[in-house]
Amino acid sequence: MYRVYLSFLLSIAEHRFFWKGFLFGAALALFGRLVHVAAVADNVLSVPLANLPAHVLNAFEHAYVSGEFLTIMAVLVMVTIGVSFVRAFVRLSLLDRSHGLA
């Protein structure tokens, strides 16, 4: 049974979504540790919608200038992995529709 359990754990550990989920969780935990999320939400909600992209760009620029490299990297990892999850699920749903499974 030891070999069965070991092969099961290895099959999970070598799956790319396992590592993407692990990295996403680590980046989310780091982001939550470094940034006060309620203050970010208050700042975003206080900005008019038309000025939101400029506000976000200025926030990243300020973080870069002030040396908050880990915060920027955590956000970039979360965005990249989130986009890859969405692309994979869209591709999967389109594949299911093309084969008449949906």
Domain segments of the chain as ranges = 15-98
Q: Torsion-angle region of residue 36: left (phi > 0), alpha (psi -120 to 50) or beta? A: beta
Kindly report the average pLDDT of the chain as a whole number.
88
Q: Quick one: tokens of 100?
A: 């008449």
**Could you tell me the pTM of the whole model?**
0.68
Q: Are the C-beta atoms of residues 28 and 78 closer than 8 Å to each other?
A: yes
Residue-wise pLDDT for 50-95, tens only, equals 999 999 899 889 988 998 888 899 999 999 999 998 998 888 887 7
